[in-house]
């Protein structure tokens, strides 16, 4: 029997890698990894003052806001491969509508530029059509980018270890007030440093059509594990306390979230706690693990 294999094209060393969200967590880690690997990098910022750092490292800097289709199309034009994030506007009551506009613009700009490969940050739970709160915005991005017909990888990342960062200061008083419960329940978490590094690696690969990669850290962790990591980093005992759902709105009152964003957070957190939001566990899905442990991530936050 004759077998046919797709001919692998050699990767062009002069390919241009476009990276969005470089003033944020995963985008900066991805751009650093690509520059370190000697790739030609163009970063997209929306504020001139955030470009200097990248220009000094040899990256080309362009300005674009995801809400501006013309600017975004020009930012991606001439690029070969791109790392895309779609940042939610948590302070707005229209955050879901805004994320749809951004997803539409991103997909249109990617299609206009006819990029060879796109890696887009999505989330654990983006396979579910309801009961996921904020993650519905990641699902929208997957929908629009999937419709371009281009080779797109969706990185379905676990709960960020850095989500604990706003609680570190309060933990110095000896308590970790957790929305995740029960506090012994372990779930997938990952450092944004791992996501950026693994996004850069995925972007350098060859694949066809749409692929999904699930990303988590080197182990599963519970809020109790987070409290233990804090105990170690702060050299002071930190006890995990599960916040009752009725206390969530009050606990979020200084987070700068709109009412609709708070509702989305509540639904997402309920989904995480009940196990509704989880990895697919399908043998056909690429599942990768990072190297940054919770202890390391928490120690970095404390430092």
Distance from the Cα of residue 126 to its chain's centroid: 12
For the chain, the straight-line distance linking the first and the last C-alpha, in angstroms and rounded, comes to 61
Q: Which stretch binds ligand NAP (CB under 6 A): 17-25, 144-152, 177-185, 202-210?
A: 17-25
Pick one of 75, 85, 187, 230: the residue that binds ligand NAP (CB under 6 A).
85
C-alpha–C-alpha distance, residues 54 and 300, integer Å:
23
Smallest distance from ligand NAP to CB 100, Å: 13
87 near ligand NAP (CB under 6 A): yes
Strands across the sheet containing 60-63: 60-63, 40-45, 16-19, 81-84, 117-123, 152-157, 210-216, 286-289
Q: Which stretch binds ligand NAP (CB under 6 A): 16-24, 228-236, 249-257, 276-284?
A: 16-24
Nearer to ligand NAP, 11 or 74 (CB): 74
Nearer to ligand NAP, 81 or 179 (CB): 179
235 near ligand NAP (CB under 6 A): no
Smallest distance from ligand NAP to CB 125, Å: 9
Nearer to ligand NAP, 65 or 295 (CB): 65
160 near ligand NAP (CB under 6 A): yes
Binding to ligand NAP (CB under 6 A) within 129-158 occurs at: 138, 157
Nearer to ligand NAP, 11 or 280 (CB): 280
- List Cβ<8 Å contacts ≥24 apart for 250-254: 251/177, 251/179
27 near ligand NAP (CB under 6 A): yes
172 near ligand NAP (CB under 6 A): no
Residue 118 forms beta bridges with which residues?
A: 82, 152
**x/- map, 47-76, ligand NAP, by CB under 6 A:** x--x--------------xxx---------
Nearer to ligand NAP, 86 or 153 (CB): 86
Q: Which stretch binds ligand NAP (CB under 6 A): 10-18, 75-83, 159-167, 295-303?
A: 159-167
By rule CB under 6 A, what count of residues binds ligand NAP? 25
Nearer to ligand NAP, 11 or 243 (CB): 243
The phi, psi pair for 208, rounded to 5°, reads: -125, 150
220 near ligand NAP (CB under 6 A): no
Nearer to ligand NAP, 72 or 233 (CB): 72
Pick one of 11, 15, 16, 25: the residue that binds ligand NAP (CB under 6 A).
25
178 near ligand NAP (CB under 6 A): no
- Binding stretches for ligand NAP (CB under 6 A): 21-27, 46-47, 50, 65-67, 85-88, 121, 123, 138, 157, 159-160, 163, 192
């Amino acid at each position: 029997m004759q077998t046919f294999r797709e001919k692998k094209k050699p990767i062009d060393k002069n390919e241009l890698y476009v990276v969005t969200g470089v003033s944020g967590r995963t985008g900066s880690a991805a751009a650093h990894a690509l520059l370190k690997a000697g790739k030609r990098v163009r970063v997209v910022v929306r504020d001139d003052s955030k470009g200097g750092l990248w220009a000094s490292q040899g990256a080309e800097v362009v300005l674009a806001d995801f809400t501006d289709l013309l600017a975004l199309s020009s930012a991606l034009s001439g690029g070969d491969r791109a790392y895309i994030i779609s940042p939610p506007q948590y302070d707005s009551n229209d955050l879901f509508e805004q994320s749809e506009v951004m997803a539409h613009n991103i997909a249109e700009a990617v299609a206009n530029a006819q990029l060879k490969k796109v890696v887009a940050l999505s989330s654990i739970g983006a396979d579910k059509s309801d009961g996921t709160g904020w993650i519905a915005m990641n699902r929208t991005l997957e929908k629009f980018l999937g419709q371009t017909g281009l080779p797109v990888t969706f990185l379905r990342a676990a709960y960020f270890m850095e989500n604990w960062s706003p609680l570190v200061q309060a933990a110095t008083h000896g308590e970790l007030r957790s929305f995740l419960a029960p506090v012994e329940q372990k779930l997938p978490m990952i450092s944004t440093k791992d996501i950026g590094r693994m996004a850069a690696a995925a972007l350098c690969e060859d694949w066809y059509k749409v692929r999904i990669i699930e990303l988590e850290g080197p182990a599963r962790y519970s809020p109790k594990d987070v409290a233990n990591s804090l105990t170690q980093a702060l050299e002071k005992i930190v006890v995990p306390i599960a916040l009752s759902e009725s206390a969530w709105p009050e606990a979020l009152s200084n987070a700068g979230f709109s009412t609709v964003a708070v509702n989305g957070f509540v639904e997402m957190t309920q989904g995480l706690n009940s196990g509704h939001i989880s990895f697919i566990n399908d043998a056909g899905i690429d599942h990768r693990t990072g190297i940054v442990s919770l202890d390391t991530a928490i120690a970095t936050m404390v430092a």
